[in-house]
Amino acid sequence: MSKKYVAACLFLMLMAGCEQVDNSKELLVDKPSSKQLREFVSEVKDNLVYVEGGEFLMGDFGAKYGKEQLPYDLDQDSKPVHAVKLSNFYAEKFKVTNQQFQFYLQANGMQLRQDLAGTAFEVISQPHNTPAHMDWYEAEQYCAWLKDVSDLPFSLPTEAQWEYAARSRGQFLMVSTDDGTYKATRVPATEDDGPRGINISSSYDRMSFAEKMGWRTDSITPLPVDMFPPNPLGMYSMSDNGQEWVKDWYDADYYKYSPIQDPQGPENPVSKDSYGRDLKVARGQGFANPSWGGGVNVHRNPAEPHGYVDASDMVSIRAKTARCVVNSSEPLK
């Protein structure tokens, strides 16, 4: 089975059987005032990282440039390695949080999606500082709203921008941690506990957080967005704690014809899932672990943008998160 579907079945089972324990303050109920909106935009801008553009080799560089001189990805969609030149941009250092996403919903007179009511989605949507889970269209609309309220060119990142930032401006870093490696405590695994992540989350970190929150989400629990150190560029949890939506339509062969300058992905849908539905790209990893890896910066994940998972249109937005970018070379005011 492909790496792209690991843990999906387990999460779907848990989505239907979790008790809700509210361990956070109530999220915003009334429509925000103009002052609150200004403060929100200011906070978002304060958490942007400037990413100086440049040229890098995108794709699975492991065989030639990796420490072990071996491919990092068994799939072929991350090949061939190809040159990409990117313009300057800004990127959110954190994934979009529940607090931010629900502020956006309230500002637009909307509410959390109801097709997942009564599931684990309601539970994990409570804490302010854990990632908001959403489908591609919700992510795209959130970034478009930021553009409207900030007068800055916010959008979802392109796949090339995402990888460039995850690799700290295209360095040959395997994972998006503080030093490009996985680190964990040297604690033997037991029935109840085991190694904790030092620079990236482990299953035991997620199990511990679930227990603290009173959840039944076990090892597939979302964690606070700033729980582990950022990569050298200043970006947090790009290799774990939820795959991230990017702008691009998915095409397994896109790297064979991708333009060099600021690639945007295919102009139209190319690939389809087994039910004939178009696919977008999600990058990163839902639930990485220092013990077995995962979250390698070059991995590509085809994902149905609505979150549909079967012929009956059952919905799962398992570990689907987002962060926005600002496509501007000018200093932000």
Encode pLDDT of 21-43 as tens digits.
333 334 545 789 999 999 999 99
Q: Is residue 73 part of a domain?
A: yes
Establish if 333 belongs to a structural domain. no
Structure tokens at 230: 């950022």
Does residue 80 lie within any of the structural domains? yes
Residue 332, both tokens: 């932000």
pLDDT score of 14: 37
- Identify the DSSP state of 250: P
Give DSSP secondary structure letters for 271-325. Answer: -B-TTS-B-EEEES-SS-BTTTB--BTT-EEEE-TT-B-STT--B--TTEE---E
Q: Which amino acid is at 231?
A: N
Report d(CA 150, CA 162) in Å as an integer. Answer: 22
Instruction: Tell me the CATH number at 246.
Output: 3.90.1580.10
In terms of residue numbers, what domain contains 315? Answer: 3-326
The low-confidence residues of the chain, meaning pLDDT below 50, are 1-26, 28
- pLDDT at residue 7, rounded to an integer: 41
Asked, for residue 251, whether it belongs to a domain, the answer is: yes
pTM over 0.85: yes
Quick one: CA dihedral 135, 218, 182, 178, positive or negative? positive
Residue 78 domain flag: yes
The reply to whether 331 falls in a domain is: no
Residue 332 lies in a domain: no
The pLDDT assigned to 10 comes to 39
Site of tokens 């509410």: 111
Q: What is the pLDDT of residue 331?
A: 82
Interval 178-194: pLDDT, tens: 999 999 999 988 888 99
Which tens digits make up the pLDDT trace of 279-331?
999 999 999 989 888 889 999 999 999 999 999 999 999 899 999 999 998 88
Total number of domains constituting the chain: 1
Whether 216 is in a domain gets the answer yes
Query: What's the pLDDT at 39?
Result: 98
Predicted local distance difference test score (pLDDT) of residue 249: 98
The set of residues, in sequence order, having a beta carbon less than 8 Å from that of 55 and lying 6+ positions away, is: 83, 84, 85, 86, 170
Contacts of 267 (CB under 8 A, 6+ apart): none
The rounded distance, in Å, linking the Cα atoms of 217 and 205 is 12
pLDDT of residue 12: 40
